[in-house]
Structure 1
Amino acid sequence: MNGNNPYAGAPGTVQAGQPTHGVELSGEEKEILRREVAAIVSQTQSYLPEGYHVGSELSFDGTTPLATVAVDPPAGHPVSAGFTPEVEDLKSGLNESDTAEVAQGLAASAAMQVMSAVGDSVTPTGR
Protein backbone atom coordinates (compact mmCIF):
# COMPACT_ATOMS: atom_id res chain seq x y z
CA MET A 1 0.00 0.00 0.00
CA ASN A 2 2.89 2.36 0.58
CA GLY A 3 3.48 2.72 -3.15
CA ASN A 4 -0.10 3.91 -3.65
CA ASN A 5 0.25 6.70 -1.08
CA PRO A 6 0.97 10.07 -2.75
CA TYR A 7 2.88 11.10 0.38
CA ALA A 8 5.11 8.04 0.45
CA GLY A 9 8.82 8.55 0.12
CA ALA A 10 12.03 6.75 0.80
CA PRO A 11 12.24 5.55 4.40
CA GLY A 12 13.67 8.28 6.57
CA THR A 13 13.15 10.96 3.95
CA VAL A 14 9.52 11.95 4.34
CA GLN A 15 7.39 11.48 7.43
CA ALA A 16 4.27 9.39 6.89
CA GLY A 17 1.32 11.56 5.96
CA GLN A 18 3.47 14.55 4.99
CA PRO A 19 3.69 15.72 1.36
CA THR A 20 7.01 15.60 -0.39
CA HIS A 21 8.50 18.95 -1.37
CA GLY A 22 10.43 18.73 -4.59
CA VAL A 23 12.93 21.06 -6.10
CA GLU A 24 11.49 23.20 -8.84
CA LEU A 25 14.05 24.27 -11.41
CA SER A 26 13.66 27.55 -13.21
CA GLY A 27 13.87 27.65 -16.99
CA GLU A 28 17.34 29.17 -16.71
CA GLU A 29 18.53 26.39 -14.39
CA LYS A 30 17.16 23.73 -16.75
CA GLU A 31 19.00 25.36 -19.65
CA ILE A 32 22.25 25.48 -17.65
CA LEU A 33 21.87 21.78 -16.85
CA ARG A 34 21.25 20.98 -20.53
CA ARG A 35 24.37 22.90 -21.56
CA GLU A 36 26.52 21.25 -18.86
CA VAL A 37 25.37 17.76 -19.84
CA ALA A 38 25.86 18.54 -23.54
CA ALA A 39 29.43 19.58 -22.69
CA ILE A 40 30.01 16.22 -20.98
CA VAL A 41 28.66 14.43 -24.07
CA SER A 42 30.94 16.49 -26.34
CA GLN A 43 33.98 15.92 -24.15
CA THR A 44 33.28 12.17 -23.99
CA GLN A 45 33.00 12.03 -27.79
CA SER A 46 36.34 13.82 -28.11
CA TYR A 47 38.08 10.95 -26.29
CA LEU A 48 36.58 8.25 -28.53
CA PRO A 49 37.08 7.30 -32.18
CA GLU A 50 34.23 6.94 -34.66
CA GLY A 51 31.76 4.17 -34.03
CA TYR A 52 30.97 5.07 -30.43
CA HIS A 53 27.57 6.68 -29.89
CA VAL A 54 27.27 9.09 -26.97
CA GLY A 55 23.98 10.49 -25.73
CA SER A 56 22.27 11.95 -22.70
CA GLU A 57 18.95 12.10 -20.96
CA LEU A 58 17.61 14.65 -18.52
CA SER A 59 14.64 14.13 -16.27
CA PHE A 60 13.04 15.96 -13.41
CA ASP A 61 11.32 13.61 -11.00
CA GLY A 62 9.86 16.37 -8.85
CA THR A 63 12.46 16.02 -6.12
CA THR A 64 15.72 16.53 -7.98
CA PRO A 65 17.08 16.83 -11.52
CA LEU A 66 18.53 13.60 -12.91
CA ALA A 67 21.13 13.52 -15.68
CA THR A 68 22.46 10.44 -17.46
CA VAL A 69 25.21 10.27 -20.06
CA ALA A 70 25.64 6.97 -21.91
CA VAL A 71 28.05 5.50 -24.45
CA ASP A 72 27.13 2.69 -26.83
CA PRO A 73 30.42 1.19 -28.03
CA PRO A 74 30.69 -0.63 -31.38
CA ALA A 75 31.13 -3.92 -29.46
CA GLY A 76 30.27 -4.86 -25.91
CA HIS A 77 27.70 -3.48 -23.52
CA PRO A 78 26.67 0.18 -23.23
CA VAL A 79 27.99 2.13 -20.24
CA SER A 80 26.40 5.07 -18.49
CA ALA A 81 26.90 7.54 -15.67
CA GLY A 82 24.04 9.15 -13.84
CA PHE A 83 24.19 12.04 -11.44
CA THR A 84 21.93 14.40 -9.56
CA PRO A 85 23.50 17.86 -9.43
CA GLU A 86 22.71 20.21 -6.59
CA VAL A 87 20.56 23.17 -7.59
CA GLU A 88 23.12 25.54 -6.06
CA ASP A 89 25.78 24.08 -8.38
CA LEU A 90 23.65 24.84 -11.43
CA LYS A 91 23.78 28.56 -10.79
CA SER A 92 27.58 28.65 -11.02
CA GLY A 93 27.96 25.70 -13.40
CA LEU A 94 29.13 22.21 -12.60
CA ASN A 95 32.70 21.68 -11.43
CA GLU A 96 34.94 21.26 -14.50
CA SER A 97 37.12 18.62 -12.88
CA ASP A 98 34.01 16.58 -12.03
CA THR A 99 32.62 16.80 -15.55
CA ALA A 100 36.02 15.89 -17.01
CA GLU A 101 36.21 12.91 -14.67
CA VAL A 102 32.77 11.72 -15.82
CA ALA A 103 33.73 12.09 -19.50
CA GLN A 104 37.08 10.32 -19.08
CA GLY A 105 35.54 7.53 -17.01
CA LEU A 106 32.82 6.90 -19.58
CA ALA A 107 35.29 6.87 -22.46
CA ALA A 108 37.60 4.48 -20.62
CA SER A 109 34.72 2.19 -19.65
CA ALA A 110 33.43 2.11 -23.23
CA ALA A 111 36.91 1.29 -24.55
CA MET A 112 37.21 -1.52 -21.99
CA GLN A 113 33.87 -2.92 -23.16
CA VAL A 114 35.20 -3.12 -26.70
CA MET A 115 38.45 -4.70 -25.53
CA SER A 116 36.55 -7.26 -23.47
CA ALA A 117 34.20 -8.09 -26.34
CA VAL A 118 36.92 -8.40 -28.94
CA GLY A 119 39.54 -10.06 -26.75
CA ASP A 120 42.97 -10.91 -28.11
CA SER A 121 41.67 -12.04 -31.50
CA VAL A 122 42.40 -8.71 -33.21
CA THR A 123 45.97 -7.64 -33.92
CA PRO A 124 46.51 -3.92 -33.30
CA THR A 125 47.46 -2.03 -36.46
CA GLY A 126 49.51 0.59 -34.67
CA ARG A 127 50.26 2.24 -31.37
Structure 2
Amino acid sequence: MNGNTPYGGAPGVTEAGQPSTDVELTQDQRRALRQAVAGIVSRTRSYLPDSYTVGSELSYGSNGPTATVAVRPPAGHPVSAGFTPDLDDIETGLAADERDEVARGLAASAALQVMDAVGDGVKPTAR
Protein backbone atom coordinates (compact mmCIF):
# COMPACT_ATOMS: atom_id res chain seq x y z
CA MET A 1 0.00 0.00 0.00
CA ASN A 2 2.90 2.32 0.61
CA GLY A 3 3.57 2.77 -3.13
CA ASN A 4 -0.02 3.83 -3.82
CA THR A 5 0.28 7.18 -2.06
CA PRO A 6 2.30 10.29 -2.87
CA TYR A 7 3.75 10.06 0.63
CA GLY A 8 5.50 6.75 0.32
CA GLY A 9 8.31 6.04 -2.04
CA ALA A 10 10.82 3.31 -2.52
CA PRO A 11 12.65 2.30 0.64
CA GLY A 12 15.55 4.63 1.25
CA VAL A 13 14.23 7.30 -1.13
CA THR A 14 11.23 8.89 0.59
CA GLU A 15 10.36 8.21 4.19
CA ALA A 16 6.79 7.20 5.01
CA GLY A 17 4.67 10.20 5.91
CA GLN A 18 6.83 12.60 3.86
CA PRO A 19 5.76 14.09 0.54
CA SER A 20 7.40 12.77 -2.59
CA THR A 21 10.32 14.84 -3.86
CA ASP A 22 9.97 13.92 -7.54
CA VAL A 23 11.03 16.81 -9.75
CA GLU A 24 8.67 17.49 -12.62
CA LEU A 25 10.09 19.01 -15.80
CA THR A 26 8.14 21.03 -18.31
CA GLN A 27 8.04 19.91 -21.94
CA ASP A 28 10.50 22.68 -22.84
CA GLN A 29 12.92 21.55 -20.11
CA ARG A 30 12.69 17.92 -21.25
CA ARG A 31 13.30 18.98 -24.86
CA ALA A 32 16.31 21.10 -23.86
CA LEU A 33 17.79 18.24 -21.85
CA ARG A 34 17.27 15.76 -24.72
CA GLN A 35 18.95 18.18 -27.14
CA ALA A 36 21.92 18.71 -24.81
CA VAL A 37 22.43 14.97 -24.37
CA ALA A 38 22.03 14.37 -28.12
CA GLY A 39 24.74 17.00 -28.65
CA ILE A 40 27.08 15.11 -26.31
CA VAL A 41 26.36 11.88 -28.17
CA SER A 42 27.04 13.42 -31.58
CA ARG A 43 30.25 15.11 -30.39
CA THR A 44 31.45 11.84 -28.88
CA ARG A 45 30.71 10.04 -32.17
CA SER A 46 32.68 12.68 -34.06
CA TYR A 47 35.82 11.80 -32.06
CA LEU A 48 35.56 8.04 -32.64
CA PRO A 49 35.58 5.65 -35.61
CA ASP A 50 32.34 3.96 -36.70
CA SER A 51 33.21 0.73 -34.87
CA TYR A 52 32.38 2.39 -31.53
CA THR A 53 28.73 2.43 -30.43
CA VAL A 54 27.55 5.56 -28.63
CA GLY A 55 24.16 5.91 -26.95
CA SER A 56 22.33 7.76 -24.21
CA GLU A 57 19.56 7.33 -21.67
CA LEU A 58 17.45 9.84 -19.77
CA SER A 59 15.64 8.97 -16.57
CA TYR A 60 13.54 11.01 -14.20
CA GLY A 61 13.41 10.17 -10.52
CA SER A 62 13.28 11.54 -7.02
CA ASN A 63 16.64 13.28 -7.43
CA GLY A 64 15.62 14.95 -10.66
CA PRO A 65 16.58 14.09 -14.21
CA THR A 66 19.63 11.92 -14.81
CA ALA A 67 21.41 11.63 -18.14
CA THR A 68 23.85 8.89 -19.07
CA VAL A 69 25.99 8.73 -22.20
CA ALA A 70 27.77 5.45 -22.87
CA VAL A 71 30.33 4.18 -25.38
CA ARG A 72 30.86 0.53 -26.27
CA PRO A 73 34.30 0.16 -27.88
CA PRO A 74 34.99 -2.69 -30.32
CA ALA A 75 37.23 -4.29 -27.66
CA GLY A 76 37.36 -3.78 -23.92
CA HIS A 77 34.78 -2.64 -21.42
CA PRO A 78 32.07 -0.03 -22.07
CA VAL A 79 32.51 3.41 -20.52
CA SER A 80 29.83 5.86 -19.45
CA ALA A 81 29.33 9.28 -17.96
CA GLY A 82 26.26 10.16 -15.96
CA PHE A 83 25.17 13.49 -14.59
CA THR A 84 22.21 15.09 -12.87
CA PRO A 85 21.83 18.67 -14.10
CA ASP A 86 20.25 21.36 -11.96
CA LEU A 87 16.98 22.88 -13.13
CA ASP A 88 18.85 26.16 -13.70
CA ASP A 89 21.31 24.37 -15.99
CA ILE A 90 18.47 22.87 -17.98
CA GLU A 91 16.74 26.21 -18.48
CA THR A 92 19.91 28.10 -19.43
CA GLY A 93 21.30 25.17 -21.41
CA LEU A 94 24.36 23.09 -20.69
CA ALA A 95 27.49 25.02 -21.60
CA ALA A 96 29.19 23.98 -24.84
CA ASP A 97 32.57 23.59 -23.10
CA GLU A 98 31.03 21.20 -20.55
CA ARG A 99 29.46 19.12 -23.33
CA ASP A 100 32.80 19.04 -25.18
CA GLU A 101 34.64 18.01 -22.02
CA VAL A 102 32.26 15.09 -21.43
CA ALA A 103 32.50 14.00 -25.10
CA ARG A 104 36.31 14.16 -25.15
CA GLY A 105 36.56 12.30 -21.85
CA LEU A 106 34.28 9.51 -23.05
CA ALA A 107 36.12 9.18 -26.37
CA ALA A 108 39.50 9.06 -24.62
CA SER A 109 38.29 6.50 -22.09
CA ALA A 110 36.83 4.30 -24.83
CA ALA A 111 40.07 4.47 -26.83
CA LEU A 112 42.03 3.56 -23.71
CA GLN A 113 39.78 0.53 -23.17
CA VAL A 114 40.66 -0.71 -26.66
CA MET A 115 44.37 -0.11 -26.08
CA ASP A 116 44.20 -2.03 -22.78
CA ALA A 117 42.27 -4.91 -24.36
CA VAL A 118 44.54 -5.23 -27.40
CA GLY A 119 47.83 -4.65 -25.64
CA ASP A 120 51.21 -4.41 -27.36
CA GLY A 121 50.80 -7.57 -29.42
CA VAL A 122 49.40 -5.86 -32.53
CA LYS A 123 51.76 -5.64 -35.48
CA PRO A 124 51.32 -2.63 -37.75
CA THR A 125 49.99 -3.45 -41.20
CA ALA A 126 51.98 -0.69 -42.89
CA ARG A 127 54.99 1.48 -42.26
TM-score range, shorter chain: 0.7 to 0.9
Aligned ranges for residues 81-100 of structure 1 at < 5 Å?
81-100=81-100
Aligned ranges for residues 33-52 of structure 1 at < 5 Å?
33-52=33-52
Provide the rounded CA distance (Å) in 1 between the counterparts of 2:17 and 2:12: 13
Equivalent residue pairs, number: 123
Aligned ranges for residues 15-30 of structure 1 at < 5 Å?
17-30=17-30
In structure 2, relative to structure 1, the CA distance for the partners of 1:23 and 1:78 (3 Å cut) is same
Deviations 1:33-52 (A, max 9, x none): 00000000000000101200
Q: Which runs of 5 or more residues in structure 2 are unaligned? A: 1-6
For normalisation by structure 2, the TM-score amounts to 0.85
Provide the rounded CA distance (Å) in 2 between the counterparts of 1:35 and 1:20: 28
Runs of 4+ in 1 over 6 A off after TM superposition: none
Provide the rounded CA distance (Å) in 2 between the counterparts of 1:41 and 1:31: 15
Provide the rounded CA distance (Å) in 1 between the counterparts of 2:35 and 2:27: 12
Conservation of the 8 A alpha-carbon contact between 1:9 and 1:20: no
For normalisation by structure 1, the TM-score amounts to 0.85
RMSD: 2.5
Q: Does 1:64 align with 2:64?
A: yes
Conservation of the 8 A alpha-carbon contact between 2:8 and 2:16: no
